[in-house]
Structure 1
Amino acid sequence: MGLIPYNRVFDVLEHRFRLAELPFPVTTAEGPARLSALEARRVLYSRSSEPVLREEIWREAVDAAQCDTGAAGSERLLALWLALPAMRRTLHRIAIRWPIDRRELESESLLALLAVLVDVDPRIREVDRALLRPTINRVWAFARARTRERPVADAGALAAAHLSVESPAESPVGGWHDGWELQVSPPVRPDGLSATVRFSVAPDRLESFRLGEVAGHLGLGEIVHRARRPSEGSRIGTLSLRPSGGRR
């Protein structure tokens, strides 16, 4: 049993196709030719190469990958290998912004390439953009989602600690006569994971609740209730609340 000399999937692919040849001929300005894998990839990423030749290489690579039904998938691996330089640039930009494990990014990149490769039409113009742009977008989306994750050494212990906090069977919130009522029950999931429920209230409405509680505590609830206005109108006066014995 042979050992894999690398611990990154990009390096494994590089080793796989370092001396390989393209399994199909390409059409150059001088006519049909057969290129090695390194020569073909050098053409793809060289600014001085002919656009027509680049299109031909990508078209043949994508078409061969989509027709590859073998268990080894050598044609699909070749298409992934041709895209590695573009993916390395993307992973380098991501690594500058976020400290994400490079091996995770490389694995996600290949999975995204395989997913996009299935639906790419090799007959369209700029087939390389049709393959690489959606793949790069998926990798960026994965990286952004990955930054929102927080590693936990023992998820079971975290759930047990969450469940150990006693909570009432029901937490009714009533007494408001606005035509609605909120009732919160504890989560029934065995892992105890739940999300915080938050209701956003306008500042003026929240302030009215606070003043209502203060007025009720001072025994002025009925007076405030009769004095409230159903809608905005002209101001007829002000009401100041001060601590007992405070300065006037």
Structure 2
Amino acid sequence: MMYPPHSSAFASVRRHFDDPRISDAVLVIVPPDAHGAEPARLTAAETHQALYGPGSDPQFTAAVWREVIRTAQSDLSPHGTGKLLAIWLALPRLAGTVHRVCARLRADRSDVEAEMVLALLEKLADRDGASRLSGSGLMHAARARAWHLAREGLRELPSTRIERIAQDQALTASGGEADAPAEESLDVRVDRPDGPDGLCAPLRFRVRPEHLRRQGIFVDTGDGSQDRPAGHSPGKRRRPGRRAGTPPVRPAGRRA
């Protein structure tokens, strides 16, 4: 079975229950109903089937969720499967929300899934509301956290702290003044690479060209020319350098 990348929280939980030793173990015992039926002893796979299989009984489904939540809240073992079972059973009802959040707000899938899992664990650990918690309450908490995470990401404002630190270090190393003209510095932007790992957002900071030349870094200045490191002479073979980020470094505008 194909899952999202290894960093996906949902995929990790699914892989755990792919193990027959886990999926075939009896994890949930649903007490008898008002008619005096025998307790239902369900394996993990049977519990999933009872909740999402064809012809599921709404009354029995509610009873199963109550028992799943009770099992998860009473499981205090660090290696127990009670809480993982509750998360696994919630995934079919959360996958659609993950897709919508990522498509509409361009959120990172790994971040959204991890935030949902965290919300589920926090609700299961809340002793004050333990008796009132239901399957629908679990889903609502996870969905609300996912949308909140994505919307907060859209409202993030760029910080100038990194570029101020980089500029101060460059000025100190070159013996320049702190109020050097802004046109003598360069804006550097490091984009987030493709894939689930790496930077969570682009980085921007400002450095002096002299600092880049001392480090032997070749800089694309945006006008088709390349700045060269200090000590370069036409008679010597130039060592290949590395660019300072993509898109190319460009001169900073004059400060107000």
Question: TM-score normalized by structure 2?
Answer: 0.53
1:145 alignment partner in structure 2: 152
**Change in 2 beyond 3 A, CA 1:148/1:55:** same
CA contact (8 A) 1:27 1:53 kept: no
> What is the letter of the counterpart of residue 10 of structure 1?
F
Residue identity over aligned pairs, in percent, reads: 32
Give the Cα separation in 2 of the matches to 1:92 and 1:143. Answer: 12
Secondary structure of the residue aligned to 1:25 is strand
Which segments of 5 or more consecutive residues in structure 2 lack a partner in the other structure? 170-177, 181-256
After superposition, the C-alpha distances for 1:185-214 in whole angstroms (9 at most, x for unaligned) are: xxxxxxxxxxxxxxxxxxxxxxxxxxxxxx
1:16 aligns with 2:23: no
What is the root-mean-square deviation of aligned Cα atoms in Å?
Answer: 3.1
Give the match for residue 76 of structure 1: 83
Paired residues of 1:60 and 1:122 also in contact (CA < 8 A): no
Find out whether 1:40 has 2:58 as its counterpart: no
Instruction: Give the counterpart letter for 2:153 in structure 1.
Output: R
Which 10-residue stretch deviates more, 23-32 or 104-113?
A: 23-32
Q: Does 1:7 align with 2:14?
A: no
Alignment partner of 1:86 is 2:116 = no
After superposition, the C-alpha distances for 1:15-46 in whole angstroms (9 at most, x for unaligned) are 11133234232257863222232231232235
- How many angstroms apart in 1 are the aligned matches of 2:32 and 2:143? 29
Match of 1:157 among 151, 157, 163: 163
- Counterpart of 1:82 in structure 2: which amino acid? L
SS of 2:117's partner is helix
Q: Any gaps of 5 or more consecutive residues in structure 1? A: 167-248
Distance of aligned partners of 1:165 and 1:113 in 2 relative to their CA distance in 1, 3 Å threshold: farther
CA 1:47–1:151 in 2, change beyond 3 Å: closer, same or farther? farther
Question: Alpha-carbon deviation of 1:77?
Answer: 1.1
Alignment partner of 1:64 is 2:68: no
SS at match of 1:34: strand
**Structure 1 residue identity aligned to 2:147:** W
Partner SS, residue 39 of structure 2? strand
The TM-score, its normalising length taken from structure 1, stands at 0.55
Tell me which protein shows more strand as a share of its residues.
Answer: 2
Deviations 1:59-94 (Å, cap 9, x if unpaired)? 111111111111123211111111111121110111
